[in-house]
């Protein structure tokens, strides 16, 4: 490989951070702190130790840990060997975890001893596994630190083709077994560069810089921690990793480490805002990107009231993930006559990132012209999208039909190129010839002061095609009747904000709602559960 034929490799992202960020740290639970020169040395020693244990070009190495410095080190050292890191979704069922590790052909695993009971139970099913390395915060039970202590830091990471697979993980769709997606070195580097360019070009809200203190509140196994750990490391940001997610610990770290930048799903934000331990914490320096599911306007408002600079990112496992970000420009802010207008923009899916092409496609695979009211499935092209699903040519072809990656989301663009998601294509309710967004309806119902959580699903209807059904969880000690909930919705139909077909025929009160492994409403389960109830 000649110097002229430069390959986009993950190792190049580490070219300058040791020298330029020599006084910044990678911090684990506030208990361990590594300077960047130490971090770089550890990455080299991890690479040497894994190579000594048999990792070669192409080896699949699974990681099963809480968010930690070890995980971040694995993000770099494993791919830099030419091996691929498989990030295990620890919130899947044991059967699914076993399936994904085995399906990914993992021959080596780094597994936190906290998962030992689960891991022991599934180990017989891991047919390709040869090497297990146990991680623990307890030095006596930690093979990881011992392995690094014994390793040489003179490890040289090889050059190879930038299209070498660097990462893989599994996504739980709405049907069937988990599906593996995979990303090359080139894609990871380009995702880092486009994410950085997109997020750092902001001039008004959400500006992020190398001076920020970063702490992810989405797990590192979830779509590369949304790509931010790679970016934060490349530019040498102070980084905080929380270990096992415990609200009180997280809130303490947030304050003690002066965290200024994070990202999470709406449920985590909700927890932060409502946890008693968080009431006294100053959140006014915090920039926070919400993704994973739609950010309800009420939650956005509550975050802004605490001083959080909050906005939305949109993407999916298949897209690496970031496709768009709802940072606001001065022009857009000037357009906002009220706080409600601003909230509508901050909770939108956002403007596509640099180099990322998003379009609306109809059912016949035609790209619809921009502008006007064109609504349909969002499809994407860009430099960081998975080429397909592991060992699943049919699903890959479906994902990429018509030469675009299909998101499965229904949306439209406004005049400023801002993407607004109506709903998942599977969740949108087609009733009386109109499309009702389950998300919008949930947001309206959530505005009732007694409502804690809500899910809206469609049930088939002989007359209208489909009808919305709302399942509502009330706040502790609060009461509301079906009619009271409906009247909140009716008010919105009278102002024209909602179609009159949006008023559900029934409201069901439930003690809790089914969630997926990453904390989203599990509408597949909810449909199974409640459409049966409904039909009965």
Q: Contact residues for a second copy (CB under 8 A)?
A: 2-4, 6, 8, 12-13, 15-16, 18-20, 22-24, 189-190, 193-194, 196-197, 200-204, 207, 209-212, 234-235, 329-331, 351-352, 354-357, 370, 381-383, 385, 387-388, 400, 403-405, 413, 415-417
SS3 content of the chain, % helix, strand, coil (to 5): 35, 25, 40
Q: Report the residue number, 164 or 351, with the smaller CB distance to a second copy.
A: 351
Q: Which of 252, 426, 430, 524 is catalytic?
A: 430
Active-site residue, 318 included: yes
CB of 20 to a second copy, least distance (A): 5
Annotated catalytic residue, options 171, 218, 347, 431: 171
> Of residues 73, 107, 257, 318, which has the active-site annotation?
318
Select which of 435, 475, 482, 516 is catalytic.
435
| Nearer Cβ to a second copy (408/465) | 408
Tell me, yes or no, if 66 is annotated catalytic: no
Q: Give the number of residues written for the chain.
A: 536
DSSP 13: G
Reference 10, options 61, 58, 78; nearest CA is 78
Query: Looking at beta carbons only, is 190 or 251 nearer to a second copy?
Result: 190
Cis peptide before 142 (omega within 30 of 0): no
**Cα–Cα distance measured from residue 217 to residue 269, given in angstroms and rounded to the nearest whole number:** 9
* CB nearer a second copy, residue 126 or residue 165: 165
Q: Is 171 a catalytic residue?
A: yes
CB of 234 to a second copy, least distance (A): 6
How many whole angstroms separate alpha carbon 169 and alpha carbon 61? 11
**C-alpha–C-alpha distance, residues 447 and 336, integer Å:** 21
Closest contact distance (angstroms) between CB of 19 and a second copy is 3
Q: What is the DSSP string of 118-184?
A: HHHHHGGG-TT--EEEEE-SSGGG-HHHHHHHHS-TT-PPPP--TTSEEEEEEE--SSSS-EEEEEE
Residues 6+ apart with CB under 8 A from 68: 28, 135, 220, 241, 243
d(CA 399, CA 51) in angstroms, rounded, equals 35
Does the annotation mark 407 as catalytic? no
Burial class of residue 172 in the structure, from the number of CB atoms within 10 Å of its CB (0-12 exposed, 13-18 middle, 19+ buried): buried
Q: How far is the CB of 59 from a second copy (least distance, A)?
A: 24
Shorter beta-carbon distance to a second copy: residue 78 or 384? 384
Q: Work out how close the CB of 316 gets to a second copy at its nearest, in angstroms, rounded to a whole number.
A: 16
Smallest distance, Å, CB 387 to a second copy? 5
- The three-state secondary structure class of 407 is strand
If the CB atoms of residues 228 and 404 are measured against a second copy, the closer one turns out to be 404
95 touches 170 (CB < 8 A): no
The residues annotated with a catalytic role in the active site are: 171, 318, 430, 435
């Amino acid at each position: 490989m000649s110097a002229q034929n430069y390959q986009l490799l993950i190792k190049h992202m580490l070219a300058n951070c040791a020298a330029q960020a020599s006084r910044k740290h990678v911090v684990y639970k506030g208990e361990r702190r590594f300077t960047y020169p130490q971090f770089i040395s550890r990455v080299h020693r991890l690479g040497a130790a894994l190579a000594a244990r048999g990792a070669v070009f192409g080896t699949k190495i699974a990681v099963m840990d809480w968010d930690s410095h070890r995980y971040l080190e694995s993000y770099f050292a494993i791919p830099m060997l030419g091996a691929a890191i498989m990030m295990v979704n620890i919130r899947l069922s044991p059967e699914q975890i076993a399936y994904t590790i085995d399906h990914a052909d993992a021959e080596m695993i780094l597994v936190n001893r906290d998962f030992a009971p689960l891991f022991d139970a599934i180990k017989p099913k891991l047919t390709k596994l040869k090497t297990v390395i146990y991680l623990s915060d307890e030095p006596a039970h930690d093979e990881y630190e011992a392995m690094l202590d014994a390793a040489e830091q003179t490890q040289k990471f090889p050059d190879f083709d930038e299209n070498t697979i660097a990462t893989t993980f599994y996504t739980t769709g709405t049907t069937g077994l988990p599906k593996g997606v995979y990303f090359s070195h080139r894609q990871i580097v380009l995702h880092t560069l486009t994410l950085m360019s997109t997020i750092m070009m902001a001039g008004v809200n959400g500006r992020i810089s190398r001076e920020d203190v970063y702490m992810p509140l989405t797990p590192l196994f979830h779509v590369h921690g949304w790509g931010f750990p790679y970016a934060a490391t490349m530019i040498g940001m102070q980084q905080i990793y929380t270990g096992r997610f415990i609200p009180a610990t997280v809130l303490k770290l947030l304050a003690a480490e002066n965290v200024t930048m994070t990202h999470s799903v709406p449920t985590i934000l909700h927890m932060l805002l409502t946890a008693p331990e968080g009431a006294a914490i100053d959140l006014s320096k915090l920039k926070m990107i919400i993704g994973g599911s739609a950010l309800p306007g009420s939650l956005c408002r509550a975050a802004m009231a605490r001083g959080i600079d909050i906005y939305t990112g949109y993407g999916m496992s298949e897209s690496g993930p970031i496709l768009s970000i709802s940072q606001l420009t001065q022009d857009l802010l000037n357009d906002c006559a009220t706080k409600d207008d601003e909230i509508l923009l901050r909770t939108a899916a956002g403007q596509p990132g640099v180099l990322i092409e998003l379009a609306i496609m109809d059912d016949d695979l035609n790209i619809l012209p921009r502008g006007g009211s064109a609504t349909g499935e969002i499809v994407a092209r860009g430099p960081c999208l998975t080429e397909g699903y592991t060992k699943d040519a049919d699903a890959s072809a479906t994902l990429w039909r018509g030469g675009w990656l299909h998101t499965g989301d229904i949306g439209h663009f406004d005049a400023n190129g801002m993407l607004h998601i109506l709903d998942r294509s599977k969740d949108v309710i087609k009733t009386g010839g109109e499309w009702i967004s389950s998300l919008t309806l949930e947001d309206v119902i959530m505005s009732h002061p007694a409502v804690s959580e809500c899910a809206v699903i469609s049930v088939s209807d002989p007359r209208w095609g489909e009808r919305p059904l709302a399942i509502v969880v009330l706040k502790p000690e609060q009461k509301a009747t079906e009619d009271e909930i409906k009247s909140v919705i009716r008010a919105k139909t009278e102002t024209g904000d909602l179609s009159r077909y949006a008023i559900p025929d029934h409201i069901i009160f439930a003690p809790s709602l089914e969630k997926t492994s990453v904390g989203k409403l599990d509408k597949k389960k909810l449909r199974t559960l409640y459409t049966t109830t409904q039909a009965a």
